[in-house]
Structure 1
Amino acid sequence: MVRVYTIASGKGGTGKTTVSVNLGTMLAILGKETYLMDADLGMANIGLILGLQDAPVTLHEILAGKNNIDEGIYKGPAGLKVIPSGISLQGFQQADPDKIRDVLSEIVKRCEFLLIDAPAGISKDGVVPLAVADEVILVVNPELSSIVDALKTKILTEVVGGHVLGTIINRVDPNKSEIISKKMEKALGVRVIGIIPEDANVRRAAAARAPIVVKYPDSPASIAIRRIASGLAGVAFKEDTARVPREGFIERFSKALFKKKSDMK
């Protein structure tokens, strides 16, 4: 059975897109056929995080009717399939967000999991991802403004007929995780499905344009994401879950050589 999850937040800056990328990658590592779609048409970031900012066909072109879905699907880490949005204003203006439903109806025929990275805040573009998903996962920081905005997103989700599965609390002080979890459940009225601790390796992985679950698989944030993904996939959580092999010198050298030859054509 295909599961469609929209990853949402009430405000920008919560780490929602980073969570989406790493959660999708971890599901792929667990052997699940997983697609990740960037539905943030105006402020797309997935392409930037994964080095796909120059992708010739994005969700913008698909929603504008210029290209078909197959042309906008790219291979990401661990076999994750990625559908990025473009970063140009012209592409944003030409994209029709109402056609996202048509794109989704085609993608769900191909996968086990579809993660939709929704726009932050409350906007027309953000309503469709909240309404079409099986369940919505809120990414929240342990601060008042993030909680208040997440509550607004939860209410909007329910108004448009969606359902919030729970929340992932991101960037948490490990010494305060238990008390923060209880306060969050009380404030939002939904269960906490995962807590991701503050981890400097998240920024290091972002600088390398790689998911932290691949770049630093033993880091605290990676282990937390692995736990969340295992719960969604319905598999037993294991800290030594199979990982993506790291590239050795020969692989990196060959890739660089191939790229250089391609650039010369």
Structure 2
Amino acid sequence: MVTTYTIASGKGGTGKTTLSVNLGTALASFGKETYILDADMGMANLGIVLGLENVPVTLHEVLAGKAHVSDIIYDGPEGVKVVPSGISLQGFQDANPERLRDVMKEIINHCEILIIDAPAGISRDGVIPLAIADEVILVINPELSSMVDALKTKILTELIGGKVKGFILNRATFENTEVSVKKIREVLDLDLIGVVPEDPNVRRSAAYRQPIIIRYPDSPASVEIKRIAARLAGMEFDADSLKKKKEDKFLDRLARSMTKRGD
């Protein structure tokens, strides 16, 4: 059974795209057949984050009727499949957002989990990803404006018949996390899915065009993102166990390389 999550936020700059990329990559690393689709057709960033901004065909061309879905599925880290939007303004003008439903129907035939990176804010293009997903996950920063905008997105989602699963508090700091979680719960009346701490390694990994869970797998943000991904996948998460498996794999590779040298 396929599950579709739309990752949304009431405003830009919350880290929504970075979370979409890392959650999708983490789910793929857990053995889940996962696709990430960039539905932010006007301000597409998913491809840029993964170094796919220069691919020849994107979601724009499919939504314009100029290409097939099979033409725009690209390989990402850990086996995750990526469906990027283009960065061309002409491509954005030619794209018909109404065709996104048909694109999603075709994609879900090939995956277990589909992550949709939605446009920030409230717009015509942004309504469709909120409506077509099984569940919407709101990404919120510990700021009043972010919380208020997320409330608007929640109300809109429910008005169009969508379902909000809960919220992720992103870029949280020790000083304000507890207060923010309590306040957001009260205002939004939603479950907390996870708290991702402020982590300088997020910016560092972005410079390398890599998800933080790949570049800095043991950093605080990476651990929490993997914890959230495990929850979405219905799996138990044990950070120590994952670390030990990684160490065992390293030792196994080292042993094999030493054996080859001795031959």
What TM-score, normalized by structure 2, do the two folds share? 0.91
Q: Which amino acid aligns with 2:132?
A: V
Counterpart check, 1:219 vs 2:219: yes
SS of the equivalent of 1:78 reads helix
Q: Which amino acid aligns with 1:88?
A: S
C-alpha distance in structure 2 between counterparts of 1:67 and 1:32, whole Å: 27
Report how far residue 53 of structure 1 moved: 0.4
Structure 1 position 153 matched with structure 2 position 153: yes
Residue aligning to 1:258? none
The aligned residue for residue 209 of structure 2 is 209
Corresponding residue for 1:232? 232
Q: Deviations over 1:80-115 (max 9, x none)?
A: 000000000000000000000000000111100000
The 8 Å contact of residues 142 and 176 in structure 2, kept in 1 or not, is answered as: no
**CA deviation map 1:177-208 (0-9, x unaligned):** 33322221111110110000000000000011
List alignment gaps of at least 5 residues for structure 1: 249-265
User: 2:101 — aligned with what?
Assistant: 101
Percentage of matched positions with identical amino acids: 63
Distance 2:76 2:203 in 1: 19
Alignment of 1:109-258 (within 5 A): 109-240=109-240, 241=242
- Contact 1:138–1:168 (Cα < 8 Å) also in 2: yes
In structure 2, what is the equivalent of residue 45 of structure 1?
45
Alpha-carbon distance in 2 for matches of 1:165, 1:205: 28
Please tell me the residue identity of whatever aligns with 2:162: G
How far apart are residue 238 of structure 1 and its match? Answer: 1.3
Instruction: Flag structure 2 segments of 5+ consecutive residues without an equivalent.
Output: 254-263
**For the residues of structure 2 that align with 1:157 and 1:47, how far apart are their CA atoms?**
26
- SS of residue matched to 1:109: coil
Q: For 1:233-254, what per-residue CA distance to the aligned partner results, in whole angstroms no more than 9, with x for missing partners?
A: 01111114266x89x9xxxxxx
- The residue that corresponds to 2:260 in the other structure is none
Q: TM-score, normalised by structure 1?
A: 0.90
Question: In the aligned structure 2, how far is the partner of 1:149 from the partner of 1:175?
Answer: 22
Q: SS where residue 239 of structure 2 aligns?
A: coil
Task: Map 1:80-99 to 2 at 5 A.
Answer: 80-99=80-99
After superposition, the CA RMSD in angstroms is 1.6
Q: Could you tell me which residue of structure 1 aligns to residue 72 of structure 2?
A: 72
> Equivalent residue of 1:210, what SS?
coil
Give, in angstroms, the shift of residue 170 of structure 1: 0.4
1:59 aligns with 2:59: yes
The structural deviation recorded for 1:175 is: 4.8
Structure 1 stretches of 4+ moved >3 Å = none
Q: Which amino acid aligns with 1:142?
A: P
Is the contact between residue 34 and residue 80 of structure 2 (CA under 8 Å) also seen in structure 1?
yes
Contact in 2 for aligned 1:174/1:198 (Cα 8 Å): no
Residue in 2 that maps onto 1:26: 26
Q: How many residues align?
A: 247
The code of the aligned residue for 1:44 comes to A
- Deviation by residue 1:205-226 (Cα, 9 ceiling, x = unmatched): 0011000000000000000001
